[in-house]
Amino acid sequence: MPRLTPDPKADTLTFRIDPQTKAAITAVARSEEKPVGELLRELVRGRIEEGHRRLFESEARRQSLEAAAAAKDPNSDEARVMHELEADLDEFDEWR
């Protein structure tokens, strides 16, 4: 019999939920015309991607604050780059 799941190496996860939640999940799956398992996989993948995005944003913010702090020293490379960017932005604004 051929395998119907898209990933034959997937693990199975079993958990318990209350009957009302199960009914609600089943209703959503029906309304979206997909199996409950597919709906739950999509929800979990979305949550994982959201976590990765939050980590990325947090690290980007940390690096941005670090660069901004370094740019306060007028002799730093960061200050030089910021001045160049500001000059480019001013030139762009004049061009528009």
- Percent with pLDDT over 90 in the chain: 60
Largest CA distance in the chain: 71
A 10 A CB-CB count for 33 gives: 6
Per the structure, how many domains does the chain have? 1
| Cα–Cα distance measured from residue 77 to residue 25, given in angstroms and rounded to the nearest whole number | 54
Residue 4 lies in a domain: no
pLDDT band at 37 (very low <50, low <70, confident <90, very high): very high
Task: Write out pLDDT tens, residues 50-96.
Answer: 999 999 999 999 999 999 899 899 999 888 998 899 998 888 888 77
Which domain, by its residues, includes 78? Answer: 19-95
According to the model, what pLDDT value does residue 3 have? 59
According to the model, what pLDDT value does residue 10 have? 80
Average pLDDT over residues 14-30: 96
| Cα–Cα distance measured from residue 15 to residue 5, given in angstroms and rounded to the nearest whole number | 20
Average pLDDT over residues 9-32: 93
